[in-house]
Structure 1
Amino acid sequence: MSEEEELVRKLFDELIKHLIVLSLPADYQKEYIGGGDTGDELALDFENYYILQKEQYLKYGLINHEQESQLDSIEAFFDERSGQEHLDFWEGVKTHSDWIKVREWAKECLEALGKQDYGINVRYEYEKNYFDGQEQWLMHSTETVLIKKSSS
């Protein structure tokens, strides 16, 4: 396997992890992102791990055109909601009904990719300062490992 293909496969694993996060309930998504605008961050991660890489995924046979079409539907959905007039969507990961659709589509994509039996193990690291009764975030990082669910 070439270095390029190895890198593309690692990025594909990141896409799978991200689809798992997209399929989770809002509270888990917010915890995973760790602050900031959860909706924006979820869309940016999708862009990084799918939109910017999909030609490579096709090249190495990690996705086919049918799967690409399913993933593209999430991309189009996010694109349709860009702009200030859709702030309620981006800020409403927990309350906006369209996020239910996103979660369902993410689950369907995982099934189409044969990854429905996978989950993620997440390790969080936080660093904060407290001054005058106020919390100041310095760092939030996550280490995420793709794991196959045991068949018990």
Structure 2
Amino acid sequence: MHKSIEKIFNPPADGNCGFHVVEKGLSLSIPQKEKSWREVRPDLIEEIGRTHNYYNQILGEAVEMDKIRDNLMDTAITRIDNLLSKCDHGHILTNIHKGPFVIFHPDWKNFPPQPFLSNLCSSLEVSIIHPISLGHISGNHLIFIIFN
């Protein structure tokens, strides 16, 4: 797999690395969507509000979705609850992107890639969007991976 990697974007480890890599992926795959990493969090909150019932079915009870939304609204970077979570946010991110997100673990033989596919977009929308690939390293740090 390492031979297939063209480039890696390793954001600062400031508690917002997940939001940095999502912004990088969105701006490369959909150039007109270029935005600051600070805009990713409000986009997630807006997506949750727009399709709250859908995410309740996917992720569990409304209480869980409210907790995810509340953690996104709290911008303090010192709490682990406020970090981008692949499990909590993967489905939401793929629907904002309108294309697949894939999370890779450094021990990819024991932890296979974890894809998130959009259920809220047409297949035509998804077919023109490149996947966004994130690497999960050093416990809770995310990097952006560009493949050949």
| Shared fold (TM-score, shorter chain, > 0.5) | no
TM-score scaled by length of structure 2: 0.36
Structure 1 or 2, whichever has the larger Rg, is: 1
TM-score scaled by length of structure 1: 0.35
Higher relative contact order by CA 8 Å / sep ≥ 6: 1 or 2? 2
